A and B are shown apart, each in its own frame.
Chain A
Amino acid sequence: MNIYVLMKRTFDTEEKITISGGQINEDGAEFIINPYDEYAIEEAIQVRDAQGGEVTVVSVGNEETEKQLRTALAMGADKAVLINTEDDLDYGDQFTTAKILSEYLKDKDADLIIAGNVAIDGGSGQVGPRVAELLNIPYVTTITKLDIAGSNATVVRDVEGDSEVIETTLPLLVTAQQGLNEPRYPSLPGIMKAKKKPLDELELDDLDLEEADVEAKTKTIEIYLPPKKEAGKVLEGELADQVKELVNLLHTEAKVV
């Protein structure tokens, strides 16, 4: 089984977010594997262990992304590929990323491609389905279970809390929802082995892509922080009176009930 994982390096949104020069301030911030992509990596490893084959983790990013790719290798992936766009692109959107990934994947004969359903930084959730469409293969998003038998797959999809049981065939792209599995932590031997595993670096040239082929269709013109919330009102007095006051406030002041 030839398995690919699409991974993104993301800003850890548990960090405090500040803005400098119109951009999110990344100085000293912690970067992580997008949490939904961790489910994707774990699932890929489990499928490989059950079915045989190889897991390749691919990321579009910059040199810094090597660190997260090494972590994926330490978890148990076999190979990693960094498509480094640092020198070629100032700005990309989901059109850009999907185009690059699909150009990379188009001649790889992938049986299974797994991605996170959304990245916690940009939060658009587009790249998985876009890549599937560009490769002309079926996809199922936000999955919580994956069973593969031969070239058939049975997938459970989370649909706003309900579950759909979906039958489809390989080659297939799926995107991981929380609950799919429990991602493992890299073990110490895993970390040692990861240092020797192949991590290839490519640029747009290597994919026969010109900047114009992947030029973004949208543009961010401003980034800002939400207005600071004023401290709320903690009610006082007898509990029964507090409850009455709260209901009154919600009904007459906030008018939400």
Chain B
Amino acid sequence: MARKIIVLGEVRDGSLRNVSFEAVAAAKIASEGGEVVGVLIGDSVSALSGELIHYGADRVITVEDEKLKQYTPDGYSQALMAIVDAESPEGLVFGHTSLGKDLAPKVAAKLNSGLISDVTGLEVAGGNLVFTRPIYSGKAFEKKIVTDGLVFATIRPNNISPLEKDESRTGEASSLSVDIKDLRTVIKEVVRKASEGVDLSEAKVIIAGGRGVKSEEGFEPLKELAKVLNGAVGASRGACDADYCDYSLQIGQTGKVVTPDLYIACGISGAIQHLAGMSNSKVIVAINKDPEANIFKVADYGIVGDLFEVVPMLTEEFRKILVNA
């Protein structure tokens, strides 16, 4: 069944987030040969329309307004509902990001629609559009279908491959003027904590530290390694509880769930709550002094040793091969 699917492109610091290209790819599958309409919302976003088309959107609609400079559920839902009213799509796809998680349920409630959140895969099988998503903190998976109404999903970053960028692709870019009003939540201030470098939820490489890091300064070698690999630094609950780092870095059952290509666990014992947040990473490396540590059971590669010795050596070795590459 061919569908028209709306994809919300997410702009951060003036660029489209990677997850938006993944969302376009997901929408392409969900459209079953129909149309993928990209949507960009913000104060100045229309310059990014072309890029969304290069990644597979058939056309792009932008809503620009000074009041949309920052995300608010009221502002964004007004813009999006105006587009839904104009386009009557059969489905919507957002990223399962902070913004997508906040906005999608509101829009689903407005549309009296179902919503399949945190999708890691989708396919057409047996005449149905089947969504796969992790449940029980990634210890199990479920396959879901829509039984009534719109096909609406948020997709987890780093799981669905984006389409290859094709700069020769063209499509119509139009704008819609929407009267944005009555915003009931107002952002007074944004305190940047995590955004030095790469965002944890979208990072391809994560270097995570546990209690074995021993202090705030102990994270320094991890940060060095992350810098060389263009990755992000994460932490176990133990490290956060001990005040070695901010809770915003926590990965686990409480905290963030991540699925990078490479996860390097340094001085992390591998408590089950931590594994819940990272065990679906593509490749896991464990570095721990204790050969009996639980983390070795989920690791693809392990080094038994002191992280303060191993991590700087790793940084040096990676530096060498990456310089040569």
Chain A residues close to B by CB (< 8 Å): 11, 13-14, 17, 19, 24, 35-36, 93-95, 98, 120-130, 132-134, 138-142, 154, 158-169, 178-179, 215-226, 229, 231-235, 239-240, 242-244, 246-247, 249-251, 254, 256-257
Select B187's contact among A160, A166, A226, beta carbons within 8 Å. Answer: A166
- Interface core residue of B118, B142, B186, B304 (most chain A CB under 10 Å): B142
Complex interface: stretch among B45-53, B59-67, B96-104, B211-219: B96-104
Q: Do A222 and B143 have beta carbons less than 8 Å apart?
A: yes
Task: Give the nearest-CB partner of A155 in chain B.
Answer: B185
Q: Which residues of A contact B138 (CB under 8 A)?
A: 226
Q: Which residues of A contact B186 (CB under 8 A)?
A: 166-168
Task: Give the nearest-CB partner of A160 in chain B.
Answer: B98
Q: Do A243 and B303 have beta carbons less than 8 Å apart?
A: yes
Q: Which residues of B contact A163 (CB under 8 A)?
A: 190-191, 193
Q: Do A223 and B105 have beta carbons less than 8 Å apart?
A: no
Additional 15 contacts, C-beta under 8 A, given A14-B273, A168-B184, A246-B285: A35-B253, A95-B114, A129-B106, A129-B109, A138-B74, A161-B199, A164-B187, A165-B188, A217-B115, A217-B148, A218-B147, A221-B143, A239-B305, A254-B300, A257-B321
Interface pairs (17), CB distance under 8 Å:
A19-B140, A120-B137, A133-B110, A134-B109, A142-B98, A164-B190, A178-B247, A178-B250, A178-B255, A217-B114, A217-B146, A218-B145, A220-B144, A234-B303, A239-B313, A243-B314, A250-B262
Work out how many contacts link A and B, with CB atoms closer than 8 A.
260
Chain B residues 244 to 289 lying within 8 A of chain A, measured CB to CB, are: 246-250, 253-255, 261-262, 272-273, 276, 279-280, 282-286
Chain A proximity mask over B110-121: 1 for CB below 8 Å, otherwise 0? 101111111000
Chain B residues close to A by CB (< 8 Å): 73-74, 97-98, 101-102, 104-106, 108-110, 112-118, 128, 130, 133-149, 184-195, 199-201, 204-205, 229, 246-250, 253-255, 261-262, 272-273, 276, 279-280, 282-286, 291, 296-305, 309-310, 313-314, 317-318, 321-322
Task: Give the nearest-CB partner of A126 in chain B.
Answer: B105
Sorted nearest first, the 9 A-B pairs with minimum C-beta distance are A161-B194, A217-B114, A161-B248, A138-B184, A133-B109, A129-B105, A124-B117, A126-B105, A234-B302
Q: Do A221 and B189 have beta carbons less than 8 Å apart?
A: no
- Once A13-B253, A95-B108, A233-B301 are accepted as A-B contacts, the answer to whether A138 and B185 lie under 8 Å apart by CB is yes
Q: Which residues of B contact A160 (CB under 8 A)?
A: 97-98, 194, 199-201, 248
